Structures are given as structure tokens and as C-alpha cells.
Chain A
């Protein structure tokens, strides 16, 4: 199962990214679990400077921007 993590303290951008990620999971038809990471120390472990960050299976795929559900679905389908 794919593990998707949304990194961000919980501002609007992070919420929108989480929504896009959930839509992408439905679009790509893959089995995935979407979780949120709100703790700053944990976010820092991924080495991102800007929130929101998106992590798929432990790998940072974007930071500081909000990829569309379509883009995320492509990332999910491409693995």
C-alpha cells in the first residue's frame, strides 16, 4: 500500500493539498493511506523549507506548491 504524507502545520494550503491528494488517490485507483504531519520537528526531518510538502512512500515529491489532483495521480500511477 502506498503511503502519502502531507507535511504542514495546518494552514489553508496544507488543507488544499490534502484534499488534492485524496482526490488523486481516487483518480489513480491505487490503494493508499493519506496522513498529515503537523509537528515541526518531524517536518524538518524531511528537509523541506516551505510548506506544504508532499511525501510519497518516504520520498519528498513537492514542497512550497500545491500540485493538482491530476499531477499527484500521475505521480502515484508512475510508480
Chain B
């Protein structure tokens, strides 16, 4: 299957992978000294000055975020190659509501889909007899626990916040799925979806070797990083500006634990930012460093990745307005709840 592409790789494949891992590791440890040298020696900026700190932040974050994305998204893509939605659907089809909802929400972490796949995915799940609530648990968790966001949170803040982000997303997805399942909203699914039942064709049964899988994961990652690179650079630029120039007092006054309206405010700001999840992390990193509350930060992250206007518009093809409103409502309320809960628990 890959015979034509082979001549591109002159070195033996395991050696290429080994060299890539070594190169990645060296670059990872060189990033911090490089940033300090670049900002304070090469450009001669003063450590502690507004501009110096902003430039150092930028020079440190660009290689760090890029390395994290390239390295970990490749690994995540590789892992999720073993959990295609077809398998997930078959595993969920026979389950009851309770177990199914929890399982669907968990699968959502490793099986993301782009918003243009939302409709075929929805039809495929419903058609196979997956209950509506279970289907929605998957539809909520998959974008909400965004794998790029998760990986960057882990790399930049450590496992604590990353796991909290994941746990909170899972909880919203499970509760959302259970609520939608309990409300019996099947009549709000467009009629033609039910009529399609049982028409599924055969699926390709492709056997992939490890080499195929690694190559495909790398190609996917490279394309993804290339596509989101402008957003990342803009995001890091804004983050650097906040880090260097915005006074801590201002951030604390607006986004700190003392402002009760901070959570809905950031969710509102996040609405138009869909698909730029990777670009918002550096901004979040800078804001958190300046005293923005953790719950508020989490709500912002989740709203960016999970509230997707384009996806809602696309889903209108298969579900009617009341169900769509319930879906959007649960996601929004869930995010607000997570934000307030964490602010309450921590401060």
C-alpha cells in the first residue's frame, strides 16, 4: 500500500524514528537556555524589563509549544489509531444507558473528530442502535476534552491541571448524556435519520503495520501543526504581551477569584475562538501566571474547544432545534458550573 511512497525514506525506518526522538529531546532541553541567550545576550534586553520579559516568553514558548505539539500529538494520534469510531460504536451498541454513557464519554477523549464529521458520526451511532444519550455523551466529551489542549496543559502546567481539565470535561459529558437520555428526545432527531437504519455498507478492513501507523500519525501531526501554526504564533505573541506589559493587578481585578462574573465573561469571550485551541493555551498560561483564577481558566479552555458554532450549525441537519438547544445549553451550563466549582474549591 505504501510502496510508491517508500523511496522518500533513505535511512532505515527505525533509525529515522530513533534520530527524531533524540533530536526532539535535545531541542527540548535547549529551549530555555536558548530563550535567555536570545533575549538577554543577542538582543541585549534587560532581564526584568517589560520588553525583555515579553521577548524571552515568546522565544521560550515558540519552540516549547511546537515541540510538545509535534511530539505528543504524534504519539496521541498513534494511540488513537487503535480506537477508530467504528470500533467504539460497536462496543457501545449493546450497552445499557449507565455503563454506555460513561464508556462513551471516556472514548471521547481518545477519539476526536473534526466538526465536519459530526453528522456522519451521529447518524452512524444512532443507526447502530447506540442510545441517544450515549451518543451525546460522546459528542460532548470528544471536543470538550481536546487532545491538543490536554497535552499542552500537561506540558506547560504539569499533570495536575491537565487531569482536572480532563476530569471536569468527562463529568460534564456523563451528566449531559444521562440528562439527554432521561429526557427521551428521540422525536427531535430528523426523521430521515431513523429511515436510514440498517443501510450501512461494508467498511474497509485495512491491516496497518507499525511503520504505516507511525508514518500516518506523523503526516497527520505535521499537517495539523502547519495548519494551526499561525494561531499558535498569534497566541504566543498575545501571551508574551500579557506576560511583559499587563499589570498583575488588572488581571486579578477582572479574572481573579474576587470577580463573580469572571466565569461567564471568559465563556463569552471564548465563543468566537473555536478551532484555535492551541493558540489560546499560551494566552491562558500568561493569564494564569498573572493571577487569573484556575476555575475561570478552565472554563475559558473548555468553552474555546467545546462550544463550536460551526458544529451546531452542521448538527442542525440531523437534529431539531429543541434537542440542539438542550445540547448547547448543557454544554454551556456545564462549563459555567465547572468554572465556579473550581474557583469555590480552590479559593
Contact = CB atoms under 8 A, between A and B. Distances in A.
Interface of A: 8-14, 27, 40-41, 43-51, 59-65, 68, 70-71, 73-75
Interface of B: 1-5, 84-86, 89, 113-114, 116-117, 119-121, 123-125, 127, 192, 196, 199-204, 206, 216, 220, 227, 314, 317-318
A62 B114 contact: no
Given A45-B196, A45-B201, A62-B206, A40 B1 contact: no
B127 A62 contact: no
A40 B127 CA distance: 14
Binding site of A, secondary structure by majority: helix, strand, loop or mixed? mixed
Contact of A63 (B3, B5, B89, B204): B204
Contacts, number: 89
Contact of A71 (B1, B86, B127, B317): B1
Given A47-B200, A48-B203, A41 B216 contact: no
A9 B199 contact: no
Contact of A60 (B202, B216, B227): B202
Given A48-B124, A59-B202, A60-B203, A13 B116 contact: yes
A46 B201 contact: yes
B120 A50 contact: yes
Given A13-B116, A75-B1, 4 more contacts: A48-B120, A59-B204, A62-B204, A74-B1
A50 B123 contact: no
B118 to A, nearest CB: 10
A41 B3 CA distance: 35
A63 B125 CA distance: 15
B1 A47 contact: no
A20 B199 CA distance: 28
A9 B2 CA distance: 27
The 4 closest A-B pairs by CB, nearest first: A47-B200, A70-B4, A11-B116, A49-B124
A50 B201 CA distance: 14
